[in-house]
Amino acid sequence: MTRFKKKVQSLLTAEAKLLHDLGLKPNHISGAGILLAFLAGCTYWVGRDNSISLILAPMLLLISGLFDALDGVIARTYGETTAFGGFLDSLLDRYADSFVFVGIIVSGIVNIHWGLAALVGSLIVSYVRARAEATGVKLEAIGLAERAERIIIITLASFFSFFWIEAFNWGLIILAVLTNLTVLHRTFYFYREVKQRC
C-alpha cells in the first residue's frame, strides 16, 4: 500500500500546484484535513439516527485523507518541508484518527470494546513507527494497517453498513486485530534491526 500511496502522491502534482498558486501552504492544507476529519467524526456520531451519515462520513474521511496526502506533495514539490511541519502533520494525523474513532464509538453503531481496541491499536501503530524512526530504524511499509489501510477499511465498512449495519462492527473487529498485529510485527522487526547493530 505504501508504493500505491507514493504513486497517488505523484499523481496529485497538478492539484498541489493549483492549491499552491492559490497561496495555500502545507499547514493550511493540514488544517483543512483535520477539520474534515473532525466533521467526519461528528457525522459518524449522528449516524445511529441517520443512515445517510454512513455515506457522508466516509466521504469526508476520504477527502481528509486526500488533503493529508496533498500537504506533503506541496511541501516536497515547493521546498517547504520543515521539521515543525512534519511534526505538526504527524500530530494532526493522530487527532484526525481519534476524532473519527471516537465519533464511531460514541455513535453506538459498533461494540465499544472492539472500537476502543481499534482506536488504541491505531494510535500505537503510529507511536511505534515514530519511536523506532527516532533511533534510525525505518518502519514505513512494515505491517498491514498503516493509516491509508485504516481509512480504506473504515470507508468500506461504512458503505457496507448502509445496507447491513453489522458490517461496521466487523470492520472495527478487523481493524482492532490488524492494528495490534501491526504493532507486534513492527516491534519484532525493530528488535531484529537493533539486534543486528549490536
For 14-48, the pLDDT digits (tens) are 888 888 888 888 889 999 999 999 999 999 998 77
Tell me the three cell numbers of residue 153: 477499511
Q: Would you state the pLDDT for residue 15?
A: 83
- CA atoms 56, 2, 6, 16: torsion sign: positive
Q: How far does CA 23 lie from the centroid of its chain?
A: 26
Q: Would you state the pLDDT for residue 3?
A: 58
Runs of H (alpha helix) within 22-165:
26-45, 53-77, 83-107, 112-133, 147-161
Q: What is the CATH number of the domain that holds 159?
A: 1.20.120.1760
Cβ contact 12:73 at 8 Å: yes
Q: Would you state the pLDDT for residue 52?
A: 84
Total count of domains within the chain: 1
- The answer to whether the predicted template modeling score (pTM) of the entire model surpasses 0.85 is yes
Confidence of residue 64 (pLDDT cuts 50, 70, 90): very high
**What is the mean predicted confidence (pLDDT) over 66-93?**
88
**pLDDT for 154 beyond 80:** yes
**pLDDT for 2 beyond 60:** no
Name, in order, each residue with C-beta under 8 angstroms of 70's C-beta and a sequence gap of 6 or more.
Answer: 12, 15, 16, 19, 29
Domain that holds residue 132: 2-197
Task: List the catalytic residue out of 68, 89, 93, 97.
Answer: 93
**What is the mean predicted confidence (pLDDT) over 90-107?**
95
Is residue 89 among the annotated active site residues? no
| Among the listed residues 23, 27, 25, 62, the one whose alpha carbon sits nearest the alpha carbon of residue 43 | 62
Angle of helix 13-21 relative to helix 53-77, nearest 10 degrees, comes to: 80
Region of residue 142 (phi > 0: left; psi between -120 and 50: alpha; otherwise: beta): beta
**pLDDT for 114 beyond 70:** yes
Lowest-pLDDT range of 2-6, 80-84, 93-97, 149-153: 2-6
Q: Would you state the pLDDT for residue 22?
A: 87
**pLDDT for 8 beyond 80:** no
